[in-house]
Amino acid sequence: MSEAQIKLIETLKKQGIANKKIIAAIVNTPRHLFVESVLKNRAYENKPLPIGYNQTISQPYIVAKMSQVILEEENMDRVLEIGTGSGYQAAVLSNFFKKVYTIERIKPLYNKTSQLLKNMNYKNIECFFGDGFEGLNLYAPFDAIMITASPSSIPEILIKQLKPSGRIIMPLNDKGKQKLLRIKKNKSGLLKKIIDDVFFVPMLEGTQS
Ligand code: SAH
């Protein structure tokens, strides 16, 4: 590990990322390969960075936190990520889930990232171009869904595509303020828990070519 990586891991631990599996996944995932080459030397700062097309790669702390919240002992077969972006979060998730499905609405970003993940040999990640508001019916139901862009209501279709005791983690926009929310589906409905204040790009409808 480089000095910058060691420092990042120390910071994450201080911020409450205690799970060893999460720390190992962050150590295993070369964030410098998911950012533009001019930003390589800043890849291990605990900050979001631009990835083009007005989008950002999330802050390592948020990636670690969301991963920690979605991790369970069992029910780790299929996860759906909405908002592929750089592919970094999908790569981290591929350490825990048997299969990671990820959807991106911006065509050139989808093209670039699906190629990158292929070149990096992530065999259990499958990328899709499309609108995450529609989910991915073909591979539903999912054990877990992670939304990495902010919608202003809980997308009903995604709840439907969850297994009966599945969970969703997402940054919900409530009157301009975003809260990271963990939602657990059960027989009587949805169990919601607020995790943190966050700031994500908005989840937008439709696709962009
Ligand atoms: N998980 C990403 C973070 C990406 S930022 C990473 O690790 O780098 C959020 C991404 O969500 C952007 O790429 C944006 O284009 C995408 N997005 C926004 N609305 C979407 C939608 N409805 N469907 C799919 N992707 C969406």
CA of 188 to the centre of ligand 1 (A): 31
Tokens of 99: 């299969």
- Cis peptide bond upstream of 141, omega within 30: yes
CATH 3.40.630.10 fits 3-197, yes or no: no
Average pLDDT on 5-22 reads 97
Average pLDDT on 108-113 reads 98
The pLDDT-based confidence of 104 (bands split at 50, 70, 90) is very high
Domain boundaries defined on the chain: 3-197
The pLDDT-based confidence of 154 (bands split at 50, 70, 90) is very high
Ranges of H-type helices in 71-129: 88-93, 107-119
* DSSP assignment letter at 73: S
Question: For ligand 1, is residue 178 a contact (CB within 6 Å)?
Answer: no
Which residue has the CA at smallest separation from atom 13 of ligand 1?
85
C-beta of residue 8 within 8 angstroms of C-beta of residue 43: no
Give the rounded distance of the alpha carbon of 167 from its chain centre. 14
Q: Which of 2, 37, 58, 165 is catalytic?
A: 58
Q: Tens of pLDDT along 33-68?
A: 999 999 999 999 999 999 999 999 999 999 999 999
Backbone angles phi, psi at 77, to 5 degrees: -80, -65
Is 188 one of the annotated active-site residues of the chain? no
Question: For ligand 1, is residue 203 a contact (CB within 6 Å)?
Answer: yes
Q: Measured between alpha carbons, how far is 178 from 198 in angstroms, rounded to an integer?
A: 6
- Please report how many Cα atoms fall inside a 13 Å half-sphere around the Cα of residue 125, on the Cβ side: 27
CA of 131 to the centre of ligand 1 (A): 10
Antiparallel, parallel or unpaired: β 189-197 and 177-186: antiparallel
What is the model's pLDDT at position 192?
Answer: 97
